[in-house]
Amino acid sequence: MTTPNLFKQWQKRKRKSSLISGSPRPEHSANNGIERRGFTKPESMIYSELLVGGLVVKLPSGLTPYTTQRTMMAKILTSLKNKLNALIESPTGSGKTLGLLSATCAWLVRYKEERKLSKGECRACNKHTVLPVNSMLPGQESNLESWPTSLTDSPEPSNGNSLYSPSVKPILTIEDEFDSDFAASPSSTSVKRSSLFLTELKRSRLEEADGEEKQSHEGHTCLPRVTIYYGTRTHKQISQVVGESARLPYGHDGTIRHTILASREHSCINLAARNSGDVNGKCKELISAAGVGCLYKNSMRGKYEKSGPVRKLVSENLERSSDIWDIEDLVSALKTSSPTLCPYFSSTRVLTQDADIVFCPFSYMLDPMIRDNSDVTLKNAVVILDEAHNVEDVCREAVSFSFTEREIVGARADLCKKAAEVEGALAKVERKQIAQQGLENLDGGRNDRIHDALANLSTNFGTVNKFLDDVLNWFVELASEVAKRRPSRDDRYTETLSWERLYTSLEGAKLTVFAERCKASPYAALLTALGVVAGQSGDEDDRNIDLHNYRPLSMSVVCVEKFLYFFKTYFKEDHRTAYKLFVCIDKPFVPFGSRSRNGDTTEFPADVLDMSTMDEQRRDWLDSRSVLNGYREIKRGYRVTFNFWCMRPALAYMDAFKECRSVILASGTLCPMDTFRSELGTEFHQMMEGSQVIPNDHIFAAVIPSGPTGYPLCGTYRNINSDDRFVREISLLLKSVCEIVPKGVLCFLASYRLLDQIYEFMETAGILRQIQTIKRVLCEPRRSSQMNEIMAQYEEAICNSARYGPQCTGALMFAVFRGKVSEGIDFADDRARCVVSVGIPFPNAMDEQVSEKKKFNDDNCKKMRILTGDEWYTMQAYRALNQALGRCLRHRSDWGAILMVDERLLQRRSNPNAKKVSKWIREQLRPLSVK
């Protein structure tokens, strides 16, 4: 077999002109990390200025933006000025993140100036008087250093144009007030944020107060406050974005303040919580009314409930001089500060007060349960979702819910036992009351208060347990019918209920009563009862009486919360038509009362599931055939799961962003863009497909339609599995590529099954041994925990190839589309001198969720004006293809080859999918024969 001269000549030229002949450069490391010292504050605030659309955009000194960056900034500024949404595709290496940050920060600086002027002209804002310092009471002057602390825009650093002089402190308007998590006032001390349902509970109880507050805003004519929410897919990527932000002057000169929303797992410093195995649960337990408290959170009371002092403390304790920090910096600074403060509550509750830009993972905005528990306020916000190519999937998952048999049974058992303990305690109190009748009241009525508290708790346990009884009965009845069916080949029992059947089923179980959400509705009653049972209601009875021993497990509360959130979404407007229920009974299964190896959080301890200590009246819903003393499993030895699948990502997207000023979706691979408007239910008036900034002679992109023997290469399921010819051709092709291309080679395949198939064939045919003389061969692991080790081996073979043999030139990595390698890992320079894609990665058509999504789109394409099932299916395939191909060519000086193996990818005029390949690849594509 010979390789075409075109590819050989290009490859030789690139090897000679390679800027990186040794190990990969540190700034493009495999984990895409940012050098920690890159956050250091510049010695002088020297920067470049660029005039875009009438606004001055500040950029790092000496930086000349690419044409793609200029276009991106113009699109973003147009969107922000006119309250529009935008889709921005900009290839990796084109400065996408820096462009997003610089343009939005420049716009926000101008907006904040305009807002200050509007507040000066607003009659409602100017009703209040301003007290000069000399009229303040003694001691008030010392509080000036803590300003600004409110939710309103803070005064800018003194530049001669400030609306407030240093000696004047403005009186707060109602707009400036905020709901502090630490406030010691009687109206808020009883309200704890340790449970997800609490936000809605507070809203329902404060509905009248909210109405009064809205009336007080009616007279305002000033511009509303705008916060930028910058979302990334993972916590890890936030550090990279903050690193880019540190290159700009806005954060260093105090013009723009930021914070980061991170989970307790990333920010808790309490050793008792960290060593508990459940950081969230332990933290909530410690800070609850009956808990022992947390020293670090308690240290924040008073002075450090305000953002100004916290920011000052962080700045003083950072290892370097800078006001730009990521979550690791914040944790380190507050861990060594005096006093030591809680990084979690500092970043998520205090620093949000004056933050202009909030960095957080997607889930903090899109998942309703997380959003409600994270103080995320998206009204009038500017939202940026970076790496948003999979935002449709994230949205569907955010409003899809799963429940297992053991989860519901465990919650029911836990709550049943706690209710029995409450009734036992109540009976003792009543006996004591009877014995003391006629006697002088010596306890000041405490016994009566305990009785009333226990009686109230017992009533609310009854409400929650009645709900779980109804749910469990419905669950068992429906699953039992599915279990009677004939199993599939893989020993699974499954059934999918359409939205009509699902609603009818819920109606038959009388669960549709939770559709109403007014104050007197069953939904509100259950919400209130759960708050009382979990100790989060704030009732007066709970304040002086310790009911801690009667609280259910957090996983029991979460189970009921999930149902409340499901009902809230499902019964809203016409949302029920977007849901389907997939019932699955399968193996492997961990027996009731035992702990699964993956640490499933829905596992209940065996003592909770043991109902043998219950009296007969409390065990009437159980029998005696399983480890859960008495509960009859639906199908012994099997796992039973109910999956409520949402088919419309627009439900989550619009629920989160309907009141935003602008939403910007950005990625290196948004193409094809057709699905975003229809699937997300919103218009994107600004769209951009950026060009690659890497010179054309650094890119070799080709489609290989046939193999070395001339056999047509079409990676359909039938062709791959009909015989070994397709696998043989791919094996020979990879051998040829590895002989020519130095350093790292990536090969993306449609599935792990095909990966195993090719690897086994190569091993049997002796081709693997031949490749291993010139490349170390590695495979993407199925488990995420093994990925770091595999990447270390891959990089070692590239940087020190001589250790693996005299002829070794690097490494070959087999990977799968939509896998760990294709998402988020930077294969710059020598890490990927060639990317080979085999086939077109259509989603698994046999997957029930995929098939149901296709059916949903087919049934609703005309009514909802969405893509047909096949169109959606094709878009998913090409987006995954583009994402994988973007792993190489990561910066302007990089170079590499892209080989797309499948005849369906030829750029013929008759090919309806030709333009679904990213523009920067499409412009370079050519056919390549390898015969």
Tens-digit pLDDT profile for residues 810-841:
999 999 999 989 887 888 899 999 999 999 99
Top pLDDT among 62 and 14 is at 62
Across 750-765, average pLDDT: 95
β-strand pairing of 86-89 with 662-667: parallel
pLDDT of 34 above 50:
no
Per-residue pLDDT reduced to its tens digit, 69-78 = 999 999 999 9
Query: By C-alpha distance, which of 804, 810, 817 is closest to 834?
Result: 810
pLDDT at 18: 46
With H, G, I as helix, E, B as strand and everything else as coil, classify residue 782: coil
Per-residue pLDDT reduced to its tens digit, 108-132 = 999 999 999 998 888 888 775 444 4
Classify domain 5-28+694-927 by CATH number. Answer: 3.40.50.300
pLDDT of 308 above 60:
yes
763 confidence band (pLDDT: 50, 70, 90) = very high
pLDDT of 5 above 70:
no
- Dump strand ranges (E) for 135-215: 168-169
- Using an 8 Å Cβ cutoff, are 896 and 835 in contact? yes
pLDDT at 897: 93
- Using an 8 Å Cβ cutoff, are 815 and 746 in contact? yes
Rounded alpha-carbon distances, angstroms, from residue 390 to 446, 581, 612, 838, 883: 58, 23, 48, 21, 10
pLDDT at 392: 95
pLDDT at 217: 61
Q: Which residues contact 431 (CB under 8 A, 6 or more apart)?
A: none
List, as own/partner pairs, every contact residues 9-17 make where C-beta atoms lie below 8 angstroms and the sequence separation is at least 24, other chains included. Answer: 10/697, 10/700, 10/897, 11/700, 11/740, 11/741, 11/897, 13/697, 14/698, 14/700, 14/833, 14/895, 15/742, 17/895
The secondary structure of 755-769, three-state, reads HHHHHHHHHHHCHHH
603 confidence band (pLDDT: 50, 70, 90) = low
pLDDT at 156: 37
35 confidence band (pLDDT: 50, 70, 90) = very low
pLDDT of 629 above 80:
no
pLDDT at 12: 59
pLDDT of 649 above 60:
yes
pLDDT at 504: 96
Residue 739 to residue 737: CA distance in whole angstroms: 5
With H, G, I as helix, E, B as strand and everything else as coil, classify residue 59: strand
Q: In what helix (H) or strand (E) does residue 335 lie, and over which residues does it extend?
A: helix 327-336
Asked if the bond preceding 588 is cis, omega within 30° of 0, the reply is yes
With H, G, I as helix, E, B as strand and everything else as coil, classify residue 505: helix
Calculate the CA 423 to chain-centre distance.
42
Least confident piece of the model among 283-292, 503-512, 566-575: 283-292
- At residue 58, φ and ψ (nearest 5 deg) are -90, 135
Rounded alpha-carbon distances, angstroms, from residue 89 to 122, 128, 582, 692, 920: 40, 48, 35, 10, 10
pLDDT of 781 above 60:
yes
pLDDT at 16: 52
With H, G, I as helix, E, B as strand and everything else as coil, classify residue 622: coil
Q: Which amino acid type is present at position 802?
A: A
Residue 390 to residue 929: CA distance in whole angstroms: 34
Highest mean pLDDT among 196-210, 375-389, 914-928: 375-389
Across 208-219, average pLDDT: 48
Per-residue pLDDT reduced to its tens digit, 429-454 = 888 877 777 666 656 677 788 888 89
Least confident piece of the model among 185-189, 206-210, 789-793: 185-189
Q: In what helix (H) or strand (E) does residue 454 lie, and over which residues does it extend?
A: helix 446-483
Highest mean pLDDT among 147-151, 287-291, 891-895: 891-895
17 confidence band (pLDDT: 50, 70, 90) = very low
- What value does the mean pLDDT of the chain take? 81
Query: By C-alpha distance, which of 752, 713, 756 is closest to 732?
Result: 713
Residue 930 to residue 925: CA distance in whole angstroms: 15
pLDDT at 589: 52
User: Helix crossing, 446-483 with 405-435: angle to 10°?
Assistant: 150
pLDDT at 9: 58
Residue 48 to residue 544: CA distance in whole angstroms: 62
pLDDT at 295: 93
pLDDT of 481 above 90:
yes
- Using an 8 Å Cβ cutoff, are 824 and 232 in contact? no
Q: Which amino acid type is present at position 4?
A: P
493 confidence band (pLDDT: 50, 70, 90) = very high
Torsion of CA 417, 420, 426, 427, to 10 degrees: -140
With H, G, I as helix, E, B as strand and everything else as coil, classify residue 886: coil
pLDDT at 207: 39
Highest mean pLDDT among 188-192, 246-250, 502-506, 720-724: 502-506
For 353-389, the DSSP string reads TT-SEEEEETHHHH-HHHHHTTT---TT-EEEEETGG
Q: Which residues contact 295 (CB under 8 A, 6 or more apart)?
A: 270, 340
Q: In what helix (H) or strand (E) does residue 331 lie, and over which residues does it extend?
A: helix 327-336
For 750-806, the DSSP string reads S-HHHHHHHHHHHHHHTHHHHHHTTEEEEE--SSGGGHHHHHHHHHHHHHTGGGG-T
Per-residue pLDDT reduced to its tens digit, 671-683 = 888 889 999 999 9
Top pLDDT among 163 and 685 is at 685
Top pLDDT among 615 and 64 is at 64
310 confidence band (pLDDT: 50, 70, 90) = very high
pLDDT of 754 above 60:
yes
Going from N- to C-terminal start, the domains of the chain cover 5-28+694-927, 46-112+661-689, 123-138+145-221+227-381, 412-435+444-637
Tokens at residue 272, please? 């008792």
pLDDT at 286: 85
Q: Percentage of residues in the chain with pLDDT exceeding 90?
A: 56
pTM over the 0.85 mark? no
pLDDT of 278 above 50:
yes
pLDDT at 176: 32
pLDDT at 124: 81
pLDDT at 8: 59
